[in-house]
Amino acid sequence: MSIFTGAGVAIVTPMNDDFSVNYEKLGEMIDFQIENGTDSIIICGTTGEASTLTHEEHIECIRYCVEKTAKRVPVVAGTGSNCTETAIYLSKEAQKAGADALLVVSPYYNKATQKGLIAHYTAIADAVDLPIIMYNIPGRTGVNILPKTAVELAKNVENIVGIKEATGNLSQVAKLAALADGCIDIYSGNDDQVLPILSLGGKGVISVLSNIAPKQMHDMVQKYLDGDVKESTKLQLKAIPLIEALFCEVNPIPVKAAMNMMGMGVGTLRMPLGDMEPENQEKLKKVMMEYGLECK
């Protein structure tokens, strides 16, 4: 049973001027996403600046999201860490808070072996009852969850059910899909590769672009699943310039800038991330307007 099918948003964490979490604004964003067709809220991921949240803030964000979402769509809580015990702690707390599933990034910086990855994910899965989506993003973590490893985990650990693929390597995704033969749900972790991954049997996307264009991302996936591949392709190709602009600096710098341009008032970023370069901000604004988004 899939946790969700369609477009899930990797939602940002809005901040007040004093860098505290702006829960009122987070609530507005959750409503905006659900009203515009988003199929799942992914809270406290990379885009949500989870690495700069305290454990208390991290857990409170999950709890607030669960309460605000009120079962309208599934809530997937990011609970990964490069320390297995920390990941277990956050995962248990997310379960207590009522999350529907977990998104667990591979341990970063440590550069675990494939054997170490199996031990890490198995330990986390054994500690909770929630379904788990592994998150494979070697560009940030320095380690690649190989297809054989992902399939071994999915086949041997009951609640490891999915993987967010952000390697950018479609050949690897194809090999994963072939080896898995349906035993693991695959989600695109790259907004510019949604259709290719759907064509390999993917279930959808965990999207950054959905923060500013939730309906468009939902429609892109839904039209493909409904068999309207031509229209889905048009939506994917139309979004490419905007997706490129949203990743011209490290995520989530551009998407927060874009949301503020649209009047969403999500605040700034916590260090070590900082404001977007002015020239990149102008390029982003231009592309947003060409895409049809209103900027203040």
Q: Determine whether 109 is an active site residue.
A: no
Sort 135 into a burial class: Cβ within 10 Å, 0-12 / 13-18 / 19+: buried
Q: Distance between CA 231 and CA 272 in Å, rounded?
A: 40
Please identify which of the residues 25, 68, 164, 223 carries the catalytic annotation.
164
Q: Determine whether 23 is an active site residue.
A: no
Please identify which of the residues 64, 121, 135, 224 carries the catalytic annotation.
135
Q: Which residues are catalytic?
A: 135, 164
